[in-house]
Structure 1
Amino acid sequence: MTPTTVIDETGTPSAFTAPFSRAMLTSDRSLSVLDSETGAWETRTWRDVHARAVEIAATLVAARGDEGQVEHVGLIGDPTVDLIAAIQGAWLAGAAVAILPGPIRGADENRWAQATYTRFAGIGVGTVLGDGPQFDLLTAVDGDLHLAPAREYGVGADTAGFVPVVAGPDAPAVLQGTAGSTGDPKTAALPESSVHTNTGELVARLGMHHSRDIGFSWLPLYHDMGLTFLLAGMGAGFQTYIVPNSAFAAAPFKWLEWLTETKATVTAAPNFAYDILGRYGRLLQSADLSNLRVAISGGEPIDPDAFDKFLAETERFGFDPAAAAPAYGMAESTCAVTMPATGEGAAYDEVTVTPPGDGSEPRRRRYAVLGKPLDGMEIRIVEPNVDVPLIDDREVGRVEIRGTSMMSGYLGHPQLGEDEWFDTGDLGYLLDGRLVICGRAKEIVIVAGRNLFPVEVERAAASVDGVKRGGVVAMARDEDSSRPGLVVVAEYRGSDRVATRSAVVSAVASECGIVPADVILLDPGTVPRTTSGKLRRLETKQMVTAGALS
């Protein structure tokens, strides 16, 4: 019997949605989403998820009326099967998807709801689907957007005559919010061709296949890595498990339990999650990670020492070090730019780093090697516009990218040319065609004529007991300040702040050769962060300058 395809069921498909539809309709695997309240998995076959997507698409198209004006679809709330089906449903209807985050901890929920509603409207969203408390907050805002529960939208719709809407390869498929760690967040318009290419090349690089792979992710779908991980499962039709980010945040060690329970072969997380397991893995009694063949680490700088601790702690649980996959990507390139080949494992470049300036002492450092560009992507290193620390036998500069996964541009800004290089803002170099990142140009710390990579200072400070790893920001207080010099802001849990400040000063002086002028210790969760958990460095510096953090 010939497997059913989307063409058999719905007529001529969109060139963009066809591969996703074909994989979903021919796969014998399922999508499972955890209900964090009940702890139960909601499981539907990919074929059933696709059928639900067609219901949503048919309802979206019917709602347009005779004018047929395409408005984009907004999604909000923790992931559910219906919400995930709405992604493909929007695309089958020829619309783009915009997924926005909920309120950060401690935020005014009403202000968040108004700002989110306004942002949806501002980027061309006409219909918002969601469930749960975040969706309920949005429904209280006055406006013209159509809001509907995802679990109800389109259920039972007549799909017999539905034909997918062809939006074109240059039409936006995803309106992706950027992190905004060093400035205001923007919205990257990702064309259909870029989303399809990036997902396909990621699957190809990692050799993912429905016959053998099981994916597991707790990454939020509003984050580029979380969405692309989901699309890899959807596009390859392999068994996929999705857990709400809030469930991981409430109990990070559950990650190992979920990996054990699902027998996952592929997972992904930011570096801080691996750091947690490395720091506290000795407390864990049991887990089975022997099925993992790919563990992607991306989204933030990788600390080699911390990652090595993760590898050491998880070896007793059967984790294969060759499965480690430190990678590099950004929302502006859909997601992945570089990725190691399967089985390469974590690799580091040990180098001598000398900060520019008189009297600077060279120091040995290790940087993670982040793999080669995906097919269709290019990287070049150009002259930096700031003085950067010198690395022997390495040409350090600004990292620029271009290729088949790129955005068409930021909404409200000039479009990116077809062959135009995009300045990532990162500093790095190439080693045998593989990318190494040292830091960000905007974040270079200049103290007493010396330029430092802040990540080196932050890692030294984080080595002190009680200082929260991933909760440290290093900056330079301006010369016209009453106390100019290097400032370390760190989240801290402990009882002896005086001793901890001294220990941070000692660690930074020893590791980086410079004495901090000030160490500001804050309660956990106090340092400003983006919705994806990245530190908002510019905002932190502004708050220090204004005296709001002390």
Structure 2
Amino acid sequence: MSRFVDMLLDTARTRGQERGITTGEPAAPVRHTWARVHERATRMAGSLIAGGLAKHGAVAVLAAEPVTIAPAVQAVWLAGGSVTMLHQPTPRTDLAEWARDTVRVLAMIGSKLVLLGAPFDQLAPVLEQNGIAYLNLSGLADGEPVADVVEVGEEAPALLQLTSGSTAEPKAVRITHGNLFANMTAMTEASELDVDNDIMVSWLPLFHDMGMVGFLTVPMTVGLELVKVTPVEFLTGPLLWAELISRYRATITAAPNFAYALLGRRLSGVDDEGKYDLSTLRLALNGAEPIDEKAVRLFTEAGARFGMRPECVFPAYGMAETTLAVSFAPLLSGLRLDRIDADKLESENLAVPSDSPSARSFALLGRPLRGIEERIVAEGGRVLGEREVGEIQLRGAAVTPGYLTVNGPVATQDADGWLATGDIGYTVDGEIVICGRQKDVIILAGRNIYPTDIERAASTVEGVRAGNAVAVRIDAGSRRERFAVVVESKLAGDTDAERVLRKEVGTRVFEAVNARPVAVIVLKPGTLPKTPSGKLRRAAAGEQLAAAIHARETAD
């Protein structure tokens, strides 16, 4: 039996009655112990096996309610299968297009079954019209409990994690039982999880690796108390996050950078300093997107009014290809920045310390977790030293052996086990620093300009919607390579206001990177392309923008 499943079973037996999951906040909270979740999982597993699920079979899940998802995914593992959380349609989704994409994903992962739960059970007719087999989660626990857990090896797939990119070209990261066990135990050790006293609060989506692995699978497997709401509940009322931390005396939470900025702004508008108590928070993990020091400062300054310690900010580096986490910053060290010379970074790929006002600041993300090795590699393959900037490569027990794609399996590791991440960065005293994504770096006259610098400058302009500025490459890789900036603003549509906004954005960007965008495009809020997990999609924005710019240049 895999060590991961063995740990799940041991927790259900020994700690299952003491710890559990609370869902349904804020309207109708209900708590289920992990023992209760496991009991439902055994019945669901019995139904799956009776229904023909074979060992190593792939099962897709489309549901939003954590109380339903938790026993369902555990049931699949008890039945010897692998889990894929499908990307969820939104009110603006074209359901016909979503169905076509879903059919492609199911074919890619080799799944013939979708487990369907609220609120997506209304999509049953869409699945039927497209020949997609499904079972309703509401009745799956009515079967007989599985007599014996289906034993699988460490190399068996546990999660087939869809990447955050466009669903037009789907790709799934194959996470094995061995990968999952290695990363979970390393994260538990590095974060010094206290199963008797730590309490997690999370709104992260379960179709994203941080939500699925970090804030469902980990607490369910080690027996940690969890309070779980959906992203919709958070976005509908962001202060719910602070309310739940206060009410449940939470010690651990996590989110991408944009969410901390959003919560910081909302907390700043609360007059009653006794309304929330954030003093119990010891880890506020910040990951999944570049860490912006201004956003963190907004969060910590606002949180301090409610007793929050700034050192609880917990920068991290992670990716689905390493199951979840690569590195954690030292505990209770807060956000630490490395300030480096911008010219040396852009022209020589060196991270030279600097106190200049024009210096670039990057977050120190800690050393790799136990079992993970890192190295920095130049374009030609030469392994670089400290403060030399290149591509980050990783290897270790948590690193996926490969992807599943529409064209078949693709290996992720080279002959020596190294995974090329596509992230550009460097190390300082063994700690990892991320500068950006290799595919996003803008090359102008021999300079490497990182889009995050452009986006942060654009976001400082009044009228630009926070977290909704994107720098994109135009004519990438050619002698005419340029860049443009796309921002969202409530001023979109007002000709005069747009003109002023575009000029101000262009000026701020030029001041920040000494290069001027070929165009600044202003869009209405909610129109920038984003991944299912909420991250901005530079490539998709770039494709749209490039077409518009080329059309304009042709007309001129």
Q: Residue 190 of structure 1 aligns to a residue in which SS?
A: strand
Aligned pairs (5 A) from 1:482-501? 485-494=482-491, 496-501=497-502
Aligned to 2:326: 337
Q: Deviation string for 1:413-446 (max 9, x for gaps)?
A: 3334584111111100011111000011110112
Match 1:373 to one of 357, 368, 383: 368
Q: Residue 97 of structure 2 aligns to a residue in which SS?
A: helix
Q: Given the alignment of the two structures, is residue 141 of structure 1 paired with residue 110 of structure 2, yes or no? A: no
Q: Residue 158 of structure 2 aligns to a residue in which SS?
A: strand
Q: Given the alignment of the two structures, is residue 200 of structure 1 paired with residue 200 of structure 2, yes or no? A: no
Q: TM-score, normalised by structure 2?
A: 0.88
Query: Structure 1: where are the runs of 5+ without partners?
Result: 1-12, 387-391
Aligned pairs (5 A) from 1:465-484? 465-478=462-475
Q: Residue 127 of structure 2 aligns to a residue in which SS?
A: coil
Aligned residue-pair number = 526
Q: Given the alignment of the two structures, is residue 210 of structure 1 paired with residue 195 of structure 2, yes or no? A: yes
Q: Given the alignment of the two structures, is residue 311 of structure 1 paired with residue 297 of structure 2, yes or no? A: no
Q: Residue 32 of structure 1 contacts residue 240 of structure 1 at CA under 8 Å; is this kept in 2?
A: yes
Aligned to 1:152: 139
Match 1:109 to one of 95, 103, 107: 95
Aligned pairs (5 A) from 1:115-264? 115-142=101-128, 145-155=132-142, 157-159=143-145, 162-180=147-165, 184-229=169-214, 230-264=216-250
Aligned to 2:353: none
Residues 448 and 478 (structure 1), Cα distance of their counterparts in 2 relative to 1, 3 Å cut: farther
Residues 331 and 183 (structure 1), Cα distance of their counterparts in 2 relative to 1, 3 Å cut: farther
Aligned-pair CA distance for 1:249: 2.0
Output the CA distance in 2 between the equivalents of 1:530 and 1:193: 28
Residues 488 and 55 (structure 1), Cα distance of their counterparts in 2 relative to 1, 3 Å cut: same
Output the CA distance in 2 between the equivalents of 1:309 and 1:59: 49
Q: Residue 373 of structure 1 aligns to a residue in which SS?
A: coil
Q: Residue 128 of structure 1 contacts residue 148 of structure 1 at CA under 8 Å; is this kept in 2?
A: yes
Q: Residue 49 of structure 1 aligns to a residue in which SS?
A: helix
Q: Deviation string for 1:316-362 (max 9, x for gaps)?
A: 1111122111000111111001112322222111111116469xx99
Q: Residue 152 of structure 1 aligns to a residue in which SS?
A: helix
Aligned-pair CA distance for 1:393: 7.8
Output the CA distance in 1 between the equivalents of 2:235 and 2:224: 26
Match 1:24 to one of 5, 9, 12: 12
Aligned to 1:408: 401
RMSD (Å) for aligned C-alpha atoms:
2.7
Aligned-pair CA distance for 1:478: 3.2
Query: Structure 2: where are the runs of 5+ without partners?
Result: 349-355
Q: Residue 2 of structure 2 contacts residue 177 of structure 2 at CA under 8 Å; is this kept in 1?
A: no
Q: Deviation string for 1:342-399 (max 9, x for gaps)?
A: 22222111111116469xx99311100111111001110000369xxxxx98211101
Aligned-pair CA distance for 1:522: 0.5
Q: Residue 14 of structure 1 contacts residue 167 of structure 1 at CA under 8 Å; is this kept in 2?
A: yes
Aligned-pair CA distance for 1:500: 1.4
Aligned-pair CA distance for 1:210: 2.0
Q: Residue 300 of structure 2 aligns to a residue in which SS?
A: helix
- Greater displacement, 112-121 / 528-537: 112-121
Q: Deviation string for 1:124-172 (max 9, x for gaps)?
A: 22332132242321443235543122121032x322x611111111000
Output the CA distance in 1 between the equivalents of 2:332 and 2:162: 32
Aligned pairs (5 A) from 1:261-410? 261-285=247-271, 286-354=275-343, 356=346, 363-384=358-379, 394-410=387-403
Aligned-pair CA distance for 1:49: 0.5
Residues 139 and 73 (structure 1), Cα distance of their counterparts in 2 relative to 1, 3 Å cut: farther
Output the CA distance in 2 between the equivalents of 1:134 and 1:78: 8
- Greater displacement, 281-290 / 268-277: 281-290
Q: Residue 528 of structure 2 contacts residue 541 of structure 2 at CA under 8 Å; is this kept in 1?
A: yes
Q: Residue 202 of structure 1 contacts residue 232 of structure 1 at CA under 8 Å; is this kept in 2?
A: no
What letter corresponds to residue 266 of structure 1 in structure 2? I
Q: Residue 409 of structure 2 aligns to a residue in which SS?
A: coil
What letter corresponds to residue 472 of structure 2 in structure 1? M
Output the CA distance in 2 between the equivalents of 1:166 and 1:317: 48
Output the CA distance in 1 between the equivalents of 2:73 and 2:303: 35
Aligned-pair CA distance for 1:117: 3.8
Output the CA distance in 1 between the equivalents of 2:499 and 2:131: 55
Aligned to 2:517: 516
Output the CA distance in 1 between the equivalents of 2:55 and 2:132: 14
Q: Given the alignment of the two structures, is residue 544 of structure 1 paired with residue 545 of structure 2, yes or no? A: yes
Aligned pairs (5 A) from 1:89-108? 89-104=75-90, 106-108=92-94
Aligned-pair CA distance for 1:188: 0.7
Output the CA distance in 2 between the equivalents of 1:484 and 1:215: 46
Output the CA distance in 2 between the equivalents of 1:82 and 1:113: 22
Q: Residue 201 of structure 2 contacts residue 250 of structure 2 at CA under 8 Å; is this kept in 1?
A: yes
Q: Residue 32 of structure 1 contacts residue 41 of structure 1 at CA under 8 Å; is this kept in 2?
A: no
What letter corresponds to residue 177 of structure 1 in structure 2? L
Aligned to 2:507: 506
- Greater displacement, 283-292 / 122-131: 122-131
Output the CA distance in 2 between the equivalents of 1:513 and 1:70: 54
Residues 278 and 385 (structure 1), Cα distance of their counterparts in 2 relative to 1, 3 Å cut: farther
What letter corresponds to residue 363 of structure 2 in structure 1? A
What letter corresponds to residue 427 of structure 1 in structure 2? I
Aligned-pair CA distance for 1:516: 2.3
Aligned-pair CA distance for 1:279: 3.7
Aligned to 1:389: none
Output the CA distance in 2 between the equivalents of 1:186 and 1:353: 35
Output the CA distance in 1 between the equivalents of 2:6 and 2:543: 48
Residues 335 and 362 (structure 1), Cα distance of their counterparts in 2 relative to 1, 3 Å cut: same
Output the CA distance in 1 between the equivalents of 2:269 and 2:380: 46
Q: TM-score, normalised by structure 1?
A: 0.89
Q: Residue 533 of structure 2 aligns to a residue in which SS?
A: coil
Output the CA distance in 2 between the equivalents of 1:144 and 1:154: 24
- Greater displacement, 348-357 / 44-53: 348-357
Aligned to 1:422: 419
